[in-house]
Amino acid sequence: MAKGPVRHLVLDSEAASALLSSVPVSAKRAAVMEAIAAANGRRLVPAAVRGESGWDRTDPVAANTNRLIGADDVLDRTAANRVAQLRVVVTGASVVDAAVAVAAERAGSDGGVVEVLTSDVADLRDLAANIRATVDVVHL
Amino acid sequence: MTATLEELIEAMSAAEDADGSKATSVRLPEALHRAVLLATELGMDESFTAATSRALRERLGDFVRREALAEHFSKFPADLPRLADVARRRVQGSDHPGVSRPELIEEAAAWVEQRRPEWAVSGAVDDTVDEVLGYVEMLAARVGRRRRST
């Protein structure tokens, strides 16, 4: 159980792709690993991000990644509605970015800071300003 | 056949989705049994079963995280982060004193890392970061430092 500040983590597609990499040295994967090590709360990947980054949990190649981020944020009926609502407010946001924001909102629903690790800081900041959670958007 | 981390993750994932339950017999210390019953009555959880399941889930989750981090950092040593960087990132956006006093995080992390050089590959990431942040709180509050007389 977390003792000090609670930090959750939501990955975007770039972060998920970096984590899937199996090359011996990768600066991006190292940055994602620092974020995972720092996140003592929920660690989520939105289902839409998995689709975009090609993260198939049944593929043996994804075994290492599955261990590190075991939870999916499912794009269910409620989440789909929220994605649609956010895309009305932040018109340039993609479905995947909005799904990341919805996952962040769910992760931070009972407190803590949610780190969103993303290559698209501008859109995610706009989205984060419209959700009910404390979000720290970090550039990958 | 030895169990794998994948099997454990799969079993935990199935446990999230499944509604069914299975009766099992566990011998608990009598005082602990009574303590859980009292805590349940006081509102900690809805039932003894819920309290036990939640505690087991948390413990399993911690174990999987420890093992996964240890395995990854052993396999990819170039991904090893600095303890100070992980601690600083943990508190980013919070009201922890380390946010405004990053030099204290550096100081505490350097000291802890000297004592526990294997902190990441042993998987003890959360305990070690908590230790660093605990020291930072004490340093920020000047606990144990002699005050100057006026």
ipTM of the shown complex: 0.93
Q: Percent of chain B having pLDDT more than 70? A: 92
The verdict on A60 touching B (C-beta cutoff 8 Å) is no
| B86·A1 Cβ contact <8 A | no
Distance from CA of B150 to the nearest CA of A (A): 35
Please tell me the pTM assigned to this model.
0.88
Q: Which residue of A has its CA nearest to B8?
A: A67
What pLDDT score does A12 carry? 97
**DSSP-based three-state secondary structure for B91:** helix
pLDDT, tens only, A93-113: 999 999 999 999 999 999 999
pLDDT band at A4 (very low <50, low <70, confident <90, very high): confident
What pLDDT score does A70 carry? 87
What pLDDT score does B57 carry? 84
Length of chain B: 150
Q: What is the mean pLDDT of residues B35-63?
A: 88
**DSSP-based three-state secondary structure for A117:** strand
B21-29: long-range contacts, CB 8 A cutoff, minimum separation 24 = B21/B49, B26/B52
Q: What is the mean pLDDT of residues A109-136?
A: 96
- Cβ-Cβ contacts under 8 Å for B124 (sequence gap 6 or more): B66, B116, B118
